[in-house]
Protein backbone atom coordinates (compact mmCIF):
# COMPACT_ATOMS: atom_id res chain seq x y z
CA UNK A 1 0.00 0.00 0.00
CA UNK A 2 1.35 3.43 -0.90
CA UNK A 3 2.28 5.69 2.00
CA UNK A 4 -0.32 8.32 2.82
CA UNK A 5 0.57 11.56 1.06
CA UNK A 6 2.04 14.29 3.25
CA UNK A 7 -0.26 17.31 3.09
CA UNK A 8 0.73 19.24 6.17
CA UNK A 9 3.65 21.59 5.46
CA UNK A 10 5.46 22.17 8.75
CA UNK A 11 6.96 25.59 9.47
CA UNK A 12 10.71 25.74 10.17
CA UNK A 13 11.12 22.19 8.87
CA UNK A 14 13.18 20.44 6.23
CA UNK A 15 10.18 18.81 4.56
CA UNK A 16 12.35 16.26 2.81
CA UNK A 17 12.86 14.67 6.24
CA UNK A 18 9.43 14.96 7.87
CA UNK A 19 7.10 12.44 6.14
CA UNK A 20 6.78 9.36 8.31
CA UNK A 21 8.36 11.11 11.33
CA UNK A 22 5.64 13.40 12.64
CA UNK A 23 4.95 13.43 16.37
CA UNK A 24 1.22 14.01 16.73
CA UNK A 25 0.27 15.61 20.02
CA UNK A 26 -3.23 15.00 21.24
CA UNK A 27 -3.68 16.41 24.73
CA UNK A 28 -2.07 18.64 27.31
CA UNK A 29 -2.44 19.23 31.02
CA UNK A 30 -0.22 21.53 33.05
CA UNK A 31 3.32 21.01 31.81
CA UNK A 32 2.53 17.55 30.38
CA UNK A 33 1.58 16.51 26.86
CA UNK A 34 0.32 13.22 25.44
CA UNK A 35 0.78 12.01 21.88
CA UNK A 36 -1.75 10.13 19.75
CA UNK A 37 -0.62 6.76 21.09
CA UNK A 38 -0.75 7.86 24.71
CA UNK A 39 2.94 8.52 25.39
CA UNK A 40 3.51 11.29 27.93
CA UNK A 41 6.04 14.11 27.55
CA UNK A 42 7.21 16.97 29.74
CA UNK A 43 6.83 20.29 27.88
CA UNK A 44 10.20 21.84 28.67
CA UNK A 45 9.74 24.80 26.32
CA UNK A 46 6.05 25.74 26.89
CA UNK A 47 5.47 25.07 23.19
CA UNK A 48 7.15 27.98 21.44
CA UNK A 49 7.59 29.91 24.71
CA UNK A 50 3.87 30.51 25.09
CA UNK A 51 2.08 27.94 27.31
CA UNK A 52 2.97 29.88 30.45
CA UNK A 53 -0.09 28.98 32.56
CA UNK A 54 0.15 25.37 31.38
CA UNK A 55 -2.03 23.28 29.08
CA UNK A 56 -5.64 22.21 29.57
CA UNK A 57 -6.97 25.22 31.47
CA UNK A 58 -10.75 24.75 31.41
CA UNK A 59 -11.40 28.33 32.57
CA UNK A 60 -9.70 29.81 29.49
CA UNK A 61 -11.58 27.40 27.22
CA UNK A 62 -14.85 28.35 28.96
CA UNK A 63 -14.16 32.10 28.67
CA UNK A 64 -13.34 31.77 24.97
CA UNK A 65 -16.36 29.49 24.35
CA UNK A 66 -18.75 31.90 26.06
CA UNK A 67 -17.42 34.75 23.93
CA UNK A 68 -17.57 32.61 20.76
CA UNK A 69 -21.26 32.00 21.49
CA UNK A 70 -22.14 35.65 22.09
CA UNK A 71 -19.89 37.43 19.58
CA UNK A 72 -16.89 35.55 18.21
CA UNK A 73 -15.44 38.52 16.39
CA UNK A 74 -16.21 41.72 14.62
CA UNK A 75 -13.76 44.19 13.16
CA UNK A 76 -12.43 46.91 15.48
CA UNK A 77 -11.40 49.11 12.53
CA UNK A 78 -12.55 52.71 12.74
CA UNK A 79 -15.16 53.15 15.49
CA UNK A 80 -16.06 49.53 16.19
CA UNK A 81 -15.17 47.87 19.47
CA UNK A 82 -16.13 44.90 21.59
CA UNK A 83 -16.19 44.48 25.37
CA UNK A 84 -13.28 42.03 25.72
CA UNK A 85 -11.00 44.21 23.55
CA UNK A 86 -11.87 47.32 25.58
CA UNK A 87 -11.39 45.50 28.90
CA UNK A 88 -8.12 43.93 27.79
CA UNK A 89 -6.71 47.26 26.56
CA UNK A 90 -7.45 48.79 29.99
CA UNK A 91 -5.91 45.83 31.75
CA UNK A 92 -2.74 45.89 29.64
CA UNK A 93 -2.36 49.65 30.10
CA UNK A 94 -2.47 49.06 33.87
CA UNK A 95 0.43 46.57 33.81
CA UNK A 96 2.43 48.00 30.88
CA UNK A 97 6.02 49.05 31.55
CA UNK A 98 5.11 52.44 30.04
CA UNK A 99 3.03 55.09 31.82
CA UNK A 100 -0.25 55.96 30.12
CA UNK A 101 0.09 53.43 27.27
CA UNK A 102 -2.32 52.81 24.41
CA UNK A 103 -2.81 49.25 23.15
CA UNK A 104 -2.88 48.15 19.50
CA UNK A 105 -4.01 44.55 19.03
CA UNK A 106 -2.49 42.18 16.47
CA UNK A 107 -2.70 38.45 15.75
CA UNK A 108 0.78 37.52 16.99
CA UNK A 109 4.37 38.55 17.53
CA UNK A 110 5.37 39.11 13.92
CA UNK A 111 2.34 41.35 13.45
CA UNK A 112 3.33 43.26 16.58
CA UNK A 113 6.85 43.83 15.26
CA UNK A 114 5.56 45.04 11.87
CA UNK A 115 3.12 47.32 13.66
CA UNK A 116 5.75 48.83 15.97
CA UNK A 117 8.17 49.35 13.09
CA UNK A 118 5.50 51.12 11.04
CA UNK A 119 4.45 53.22 14.04
CA UNK A 120 8.05 54.31 14.58
CA UNK A 121 8.54 55.26 10.96
CA UNK A 122 5.15 56.94 10.75
CA UNK A 123 6.02 58.96 13.86
CA UNK A 124 9.04 60.50 12.14
CA UNK A 125 7.14 61.09 8.88
CA UNK A 126 4.53 63.06 10.80
CA UNK A 127 7.25 65.03 12.58
CA UNK A 128 8.66 66.01 9.18
CA UNK A 129 11.82 63.91 9.56
CA UNK A 130 11.31 61.80 6.47
CA UNK A 131 14.99 60.87 6.55
CA UNK A 132 14.50 58.93 9.78
CA UNK A 133 13.70 55.49 8.37
CA UNK A 134 16.49 53.28 9.70
CA UNK A 135 15.77 50.66 12.33
CA UNK A 136 18.69 49.31 14.29
CA UNK A 137 18.51 45.64 15.28
CA UNK A 138 20.98 43.32 16.97
CA UNK A 139 22.91 40.19 16.11
CA UNK A 140 21.13 36.97 17.12
CA UNK A 141 17.80 38.84 17.16
CA UNK A 142 14.53 37.08 16.32
CA UNK A 143 11.65 39.43 15.59
CA UNK A 144 9.29 37.07 13.80
CA UNK A 145 9.07 36.12 10.17
CA UNK A 146 6.98 38.85 8.52
CA UNK A 147 8.71 41.28 6.19
CA UNK A 148 10.02 43.63 8.86
CA UNK A 149 10.93 40.79 11.21
CA UNK A 150 12.89 38.99 8.49
CA UNK A 151 14.75 42.17 7.57
CA UNK A 152 15.50 42.80 11.25
CA UNK A 153 16.60 39.21 11.89
CA UNK A 154 19.99 38.90 13.49
CA UNK A 155 20.09 35.11 13.13
CA UNK A 156 21.90 34.87 9.79
CA UNK A 157 20.07 31.77 8.56
CA UNK A 158 16.69 33.47 8.98
CA UNK A 159 17.68 36.67 7.18
CA UNK A 160 19.40 35.06 4.19
CA UNK A 161 17.94 33.50 1.08
CA UNK A 162 15.11 35.88 0.22
CA UNK A 163 16.89 38.76 -1.47
CA UNK A 164 16.85 42.13 0.23
CA UNK A 165 13.58 42.75 2.04
CA UNK A 166 14.15 46.18 3.56
CA UNK A 167 17.22 48.32 3.01
CA UNK A 168 16.95 50.62 6.01
CA UNK A 169 18.16 48.21 8.67
CA UNK A 170 21.47 48.33 10.52
CA UNK A 171 22.69 45.53 12.74
CA UNK A 172 24.91 45.91 15.80
CA UNK A 173 26.49 43.22 17.97
CA UNK A 174 24.10 42.47 20.80
CA UNK A 175 24.94 43.67 24.31
CA UNK A 176 27.73 45.95 23.08
CA UNK A 177 26.66 49.52 23.74
CA UNK A 178 29.90 50.96 22.34
CA UNK A 179 29.08 49.41 18.93
CA UNK A 180 25.63 51.00 19.15
CA UNK A 181 27.21 54.34 20.07
CA UNK A 182 29.41 54.11 16.96
CA UNK A 183 26.38 53.45 14.74
CA UNK A 184 24.58 56.40 16.29
CA UNK A 185 27.64 58.62 15.76
CA UNK A 186 27.61 57.75 12.06
CA UNK A 187 23.89 57.41 11.27
CA UNK A 188 22.12 58.96 14.28
CA UNK A 189 20.03 61.47 12.35
CA UNK A 190 18.59 58.71 10.13
CA UNK A 191 17.64 56.31 12.90
CA UNK A 192 13.91 55.97 13.56
CA UNK A 193 14.17 53.32 16.27
CA UNK A 194 16.29 50.72 17.97
CA UNK A 195 14.62 47.34 18.50
CA UNK A 196 15.80 44.61 20.84
CA UNK A 197 14.64 41.63 22.83
CA UNK A 198 15.40 42.38 26.50
CA UNK A 199 16.82 38.85 26.58
CA UNK A 200 17.70 37.36 23.20
CA UNK A 201 15.52 34.26 23.06
CA UNK A 202 15.40 32.25 19.82
CA UNK A 203 18.92 33.49 19.03
CA UNK A 204 20.26 31.32 21.86
CA UNK A 205 19.00 32.82 25.17
CA UNK A 206 21.49 35.60 25.90
CA UNK A 207 20.64 37.67 28.98
CA UNK A 208 21.84 41.27 28.72
CA UNK A 209 25.15 42.27 30.21
CA UNK A 210 24.89 44.40 33.34
CA UNK A 211 23.75 47.95 32.62
CA UNK A 212 23.31 47.40 28.88
CA UNK A 213 19.72 48.57 28.56
CA UNK A 214 20.31 51.74 30.59
CA UNK A 215 23.11 52.62 28.20
CA UNK A 216 20.90 51.90 25.18
CA UNK A 217 18.17 54.13 26.61
CA UNK A 218 20.73 56.88 27.25
CA UNK A 219 21.92 56.67 23.63
CA UNK A 220 18.34 56.73 22.32
CA UNK A 221 17.70 59.84 24.44
CA UNK A 222 20.88 61.52 23.23
CA UNK A 223 19.88 61.00 19.59
CA UNK A 224 16.16 61.48 20.26
CA UNK A 225 15.42 57.99 18.87
CA UNK A 226 12.61 55.60 19.75
CA UNK A 227 13.26 52.37 21.61
CA UNK A 228 11.19 49.25 20.91
CA UNK A 229 11.38 46.41 23.43
CA UNK A 230 10.36 43.15 21.78
CA UNK A 231 8.82 41.33 24.74
CA UNK A 232 7.09 38.61 22.73
CA UNK A 233 8.92 36.00 24.83
CA UNK A 234 9.68 37.92 28.03
CA UNK A 235 6.30 39.64 28.43
CA UNK A 236 3.67 38.50 30.95
CA UNK A 237 5.90 36.99 33.57
CA UNK A 238 8.68 34.87 32.06
CA UNK A 239 11.32 36.63 34.17
CA UNK A 240 9.18 36.93 37.30
CA UNK A 241 7.97 40.49 36.61
CA UNK A 242 5.16 41.45 34.24
CA UNK A 243 7.73 42.65 31.72
CA UNK A 244 11.50 42.40 31.36
CA UNK A 245 11.45 46.15 30.75
CA UNK A 246 10.53 46.53 34.44
CA UNK A 247 13.39 44.29 35.52
CA UNK A 248 16.07 45.92 33.37
CA UNK A 249 14.62 49.47 33.60
CA UNK A 250 14.50 49.70 29.81
CA UNK A 251 11.93 52.54 29.60
CA UNK A 252 10.79 51.66 26.04
CA UNK A 253 8.61 53.82 23.80
CA UNK A 254 6.91 50.77 22.31
CA UNK A 255 6.60 47.19 23.55
CA UNK A 256 5.72 44.29 21.26
CA UNK A 257 3.97 41.32 22.87
CA UNK A 258 2.08 38.11 21.98
CA UNK A 259 2.55 34.49 23.18
CA UNK A 260 2.12 34.73 26.99
CA UNK A 261 -0.72 37.22 26.50
CA UNK A 262 -3.06 34.26 25.95
CA UNK A 263 -0.58 31.49 26.89
CA UNK A 264 -1.28 30.38 23.32
CA UNK A 265 -4.93 29.42 23.88
CA UNK A 266 -5.86 31.66 20.96
CA UNK A 267 -3.57 33.72 18.71
CA UNK A 268 -3.27 37.33 19.86
CA UNK A 269 -0.62 40.00 20.09
CA UNK A 270 -0.51 43.55 21.39
CA UNK A 271 1.73 46.58 20.93
CA UNK A 272 1.90 48.79 24.01
CA UNK A 273 2.47 52.34 22.82
CA UNK A 274 3.74 55.18 24.98
CA UNK A 275 2.41 58.75 24.89
CA UNK A 276 5.25 60.07 22.74
CA UNK A 277 4.22 58.01 19.70
CA UNK A 278 0.53 57.79 20.56
CA UNK A 279 0.10 61.57 20.88
CA UNK A 280 1.74 62.20 17.51
CA UNK A 281 -0.23 59.49 15.67
CA UNK A 282 -3.51 60.47 17.35
CA UNK A 283 -3.08 64.21 16.86
CA UNK A 284 -5.65 66.14 14.85
CA UNK A 285 -4.32 66.31 11.31
CA UNK A 286 -2.28 63.11 11.55
CA UNK A 287 -5.08 61.36 9.73
CA UNK A 288 -5.87 57.69 9.67
CA UNK A 289 -3.15 55.24 10.73
CA UNK A 290 -3.57 52.99 7.72
CA UNK A 291 -2.67 49.76 9.41
CA UNK A 292 -4.50 46.94 11.17
CA UNK A 293 -5.39 43.29 10.91
CA UNK A 294 -8.65 41.46 10.32
CA UNK A 295 -8.29 39.83 13.71
CA UNK A 296 -7.00 42.87 15.63
CA UNK A 297 -9.02 42.85 18.85
CA UNK A 298 -10.64 39.47 18.07
CA UNK A 299 -13.28 39.20 20.78
CA UNK A 300 -12.80 35.53 21.69
CA UNK A 301 -9.00 35.85 21.69
CA UNK A 302 -9.27 38.90 23.99
CA UNK A 303 -11.61 36.95 26.30
CA UNK A 304 -9.02 34.15 26.44
CA UNK A 305 -6.32 36.72 27.27
CA UNK A 306 -8.41 38.19 30.11
CA UNK A 307 -8.90 34.74 31.58
CA UNK A 308 -5.18 33.99 31.18
CA UNK A 309 -4.28 37.21 33.02
CA UNK A 310 -6.75 36.25 35.78
CA UNK A 311 -4.89 32.96 36.23
CA UNK A 312 -1.49 34.65 36.27
CA UNK A 313 -2.75 37.03 38.95
CA UNK A 314 -4.87 34.69 41.09
CA UNK A 315 -2.19 32.01 41.21
CA UNK A 316 0.59 34.60 41.51
CA UNK A 317 2.57 32.76 38.86
CA UNK A 318 5.18 35.52 38.70
CA UNK A 319 6.06 34.59 42.30
CA UNK A 320 6.26 30.94 41.21
CA UNK A 321 8.70 32.01 38.46
CA UNK A 322 10.75 33.90 41.04
CA UNK A 323 10.79 30.79 43.28
CA UNK A 324 11.90 28.55 40.40
CA UNK A 325 14.52 30.96 39.05
CA UNK A 326 17.29 29.97 41.51
CA UNK A 327 16.39 26.28 41.06
CA UNK A 328 16.85 26.46 37.29
CA UNK A 329 19.99 28.55 37.76
CA UNK A 330 21.57 26.04 40.17
CA UNK A 331 20.64 23.05 38.03
CA UNK A 332 22.06 24.58 34.85
CA UNK A 333 25.16 25.92 36.60
CA UNK A 334 25.88 22.39 37.83
CA UNK A 335 26.19 21.27 34.19
CA UNK A 336 29.17 23.57 33.65
CA UNK A 337 32.31 21.52 33.35
CA UNK A 338 30.69 18.54 31.62
CA UNK A 339 32.74 17.81 28.49
CA UNK A 340 29.65 18.05 26.26
CA UNK A 341 28.77 21.52 27.56
CA UNK A 342 30.30 24.69 26.22
CA UNK A 343 28.19 27.22 28.15
CA UNK A 344 24.96 27.58 30.10
CA UNK A 345 22.88 30.76 30.18
CA UNK A 346 19.79 31.60 32.21
CA UNK A 347 17.59 34.38 33.54
CA UNK A 348 14.17 33.97 35.12
CA UNK A 349 12.51 30.78 33.91
CA UNK A 350 14.50 30.92 30.69
CA UNK A 351 17.66 29.04 29.94
CA UNK A 352 19.90 27.44 27.34
CA UNK A 353 22.65 24.87 27.32
CA UNK A 354 25.17 25.34 24.55
CA UNK A 355 26.95 22.20 23.40
CA UNK A 356 30.67 21.88 22.84
CA UNK A 357 29.91 19.94 19.65
CA UNK A 358 27.09 21.82 17.88
CA UNK A 359 26.32 18.80 15.68
CA UNK A 360 25.22 16.90 18.81
CA UNK A 361 22.26 19.25 19.36
CA UNK A 362 19.78 17.23 17.30
CA UNK A 363 20.96 14.00 18.93
CA UNK A 364 20.41 15.46 22.39
CA UNK A 365 16.92 16.70 21.49
CA UNK A 366 16.05 13.26 20.04
CA UNK A 367 17.38 11.39 23.11
CA UNK A 368 15.47 13.63 25.50
CA UNK A 369 12.33 13.08 23.42
CA UNK A 370 12.84 9.32 23.75
CA UNK A 371 12.99 9.89 27.50
CA UNK A 372 9.69 11.78 27.45
CA UNK A 373 10.92 15.36 27.40
CA UNK A 374 10.14 17.80 24.60
CA UNK A 375 12.50 20.64 23.85
CA UNK A 376 14.27 22.00 20.81
CA UNK A 377 17.56 23.22 19.47
CA UNK A 378 18.35 26.92 19.00
CA UNK A 379 20.71 28.37 16.39
CA UNK A 380 22.37 25.00 15.82
CA UNK A 381 24.23 24.78 19.11
CA UNK A 382 21.98 25.28 22.13
CA UNK A 383 18.84 23.77 23.63
CA UNK A 384 15.91 25.87 24.81
CA UNK A 385 14.61 25.57 28.37
CA UNK A 386 11.49 27.65 29.10
CA UNK A 387 8.92 25.48 30.87
CA UNK A 388 5.38 26.53 31.77
CA UNK A 389 5.33 28.57 34.99
CA UNK A 390 3.31 25.78 36.63
CA UNK A 391 6.15 23.26 36.50
CA UNK A 392 6.98 22.06 40.02
CA UNK A 393 10.42 22.18 41.55
CA UNK A 394 10.44 18.36 41.58
CA UNK A 395 9.61 18.18 37.86
CA UNK A 396 12.25 20.79 37.04
CA UNK A 397 14.90 18.90 39.04
CA UNK A 398 13.88 15.60 37.44
CA UNK A 399 14.27 17.15 34.00
CA UNK A 400 17.69 18.54 34.95
CA UNK A 401 18.80 15.11 36.20
CA UNK A 402 17.82 13.47 32.90
CA UNK A 403 19.50 16.28 30.98
CA UNK A 404 22.70 15.79 33.01
CA UNK A 405 22.65 12.04 32.28
CA UNK A 406 22.20 12.60 28.56
CA UNK A 407 24.90 15.28 28.47
CA UNK A 408 27.28 12.92 30.28
CA UNK A 409 26.45 10.25 27.71
CA UNK A 410 27.08 12.70 24.87
CA UNK A 411 30.45 13.54 26.40
CA UNK A 412 31.30 9.82 26.26
CA UNK A 413 30.15 9.58 22.62
CA UNK A 414 32.35 12.54 21.87
CA UNK A 415 35.37 11.03 23.65
CA UNK A 416 34.86 7.62 21.99
C1 LIG B 1 11.13 38.03 20.30
C2 LIG B 1 10.13 37.56 19.29
N3 LIG B 1 9.52 38.46 18.51
C4 LIG B 1 8.60 38.10 17.60
C5 LIG B 1 8.26 36.78 17.43
C6 LIG B 1 7.24 36.39 16.41
O7 LIG B 1 6.09 35.94 16.99
P8 LIG B 1 5.01 35.08 16.13
O9 LIG B 1 5.67 33.79 15.82
O10 LIG B 1 3.84 34.99 17.08
O11 LIG B 1 4.66 35.86 14.93
C12 LIG B 1 8.87 35.81 18.23
C13 LIG B 1 8.52 34.38 18.08
O14 LIG B 1 9.14 33.50 18.63
C15 LIG B 1 9.85 36.20 19.17
O16 LIG B 1 10.50 35.30 19.91
Domains of the chain listed by start with CATH number: 25-53+316-415 (3.90.1150.10), 59-314 (3.40.640.10)
Is the CB of residue 113 below 6 angstroms from any atom belonging to ligand 1?
A: yes
Instruction: Using the mean position of ligand 1's atoms as its centre, give its distance from the Cα of residue 201 in Å.
Output: 9
Closest residue to atom 8 of ligand 1, CA basis: 109
What are the backbone dihedrals phi and psi of residue 255, each rounded to the nearest 5 degrees, phi first? Answer: -130, 125
Is the CB of residue 142 below 6 angstroms from any atom belonging to ligand 1?
A: yes
Q: What is the pLDDT of residue 3?
A: 66
Q: Would you give the distance in Å from CA 217 to the centre of its chain?
A: 21
Q: What is the pLDDT of residue 415?
A: 73
Task: Tell whether the torsion through CA atoms of 18, 19, 23 and 27 is positive or negative.
Answer: positive
Is the CB of residue 197 below 6 angstroms from any atom belonging to ligand 1?
A: yes
Q: Within the chain, which residues score under 50 in pLDDT? A: 1-2
C-alpha–C-alpha distance, residues 266 and 247, integer Å: 27
Is the CB of residue 230 below 6 angstroms from any atom belonging to ligand 1?
A: yes
H helix and E strand count, the chain: 14, 15
Q: What is the pLDDT of residue 413?
A: 77
Instruction: Using the mean position of ligand 1's atoms as its centre, give its distance from the Cα of residue 110 in Å.
Output: 6
For the chain, how far is it from start to end, CA to CA, in angstroms? 42
Q: Any bridge partners for residue 30, and if so which?
A: 55
Instruction: Give yes or no for a contact between 226 and 193, defined as CB atoms under 8 angstroms apart.
Output: yes
Is the CB of residue 50 below 6 angstroms from any atom belonging to ligand 1?
A: no
Taking each helix axis from N to C end, the angle separating 83-95 and 299-314, rounded to the nearest 10 degrees, works out to 40
Q: What's the DSSP call for residue 137?
A: E
Is the CB of residue 108 below 6 angstroms from any atom belonging to ligand 1?
A: yes
Residue of 232, 264, 269, 293 best suited for mutating to test ligand 1, as the one with most atoms within 8 Å of CB: 232
Contacts with 259 (C-beta within 8 Å, 6 or more apart), sequence order: 48, 49, 50, 52, 109, 232, 233, 235, 236
Atom of ligand 1 nearest to the CA of 269: 10
Q: Any bridge partners for residue 33, and if so which?
A: 28, 41
Q: What is the pLDDT of residue 1?
A: 41
Sheet with 102-106: strands ordered across: 102-106, 269-273, 254-257, 226-230, 191-196, 134-138, 169-172
Number of C-beta neighbours around residue 398 at 10 A: 14
Q: What is the pLDDT of residue 4?
A: 83
C-alpha–C-alpha distance, residues 123 and 192, integer Å: 8
State which H helix or E strand residue 355 sits in. strand 350-355
Q: What's the DSSP call for residue 30?
A: B
Closest residue to atom 13 of ligand 1, CA basis: 144
What are the backbone dihedrals phi and psi of residue 391, each rounded to the nearest 5 degrees, phi first? Answer: -60, 145
Amino acid sequence: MADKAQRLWHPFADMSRIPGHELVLARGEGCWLWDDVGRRYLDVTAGLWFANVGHGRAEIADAAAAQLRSLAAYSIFDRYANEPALALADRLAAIAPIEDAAVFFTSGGSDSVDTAAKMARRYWQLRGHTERTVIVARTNAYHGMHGFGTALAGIPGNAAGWGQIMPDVLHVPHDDHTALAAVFAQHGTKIAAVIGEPVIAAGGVYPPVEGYWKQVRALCDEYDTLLIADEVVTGYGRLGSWFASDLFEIRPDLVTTAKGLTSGYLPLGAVLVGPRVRDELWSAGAGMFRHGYTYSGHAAACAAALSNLDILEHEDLAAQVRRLTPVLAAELDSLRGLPAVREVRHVGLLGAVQLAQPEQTDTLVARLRERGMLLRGLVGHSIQISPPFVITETELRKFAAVLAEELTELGRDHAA
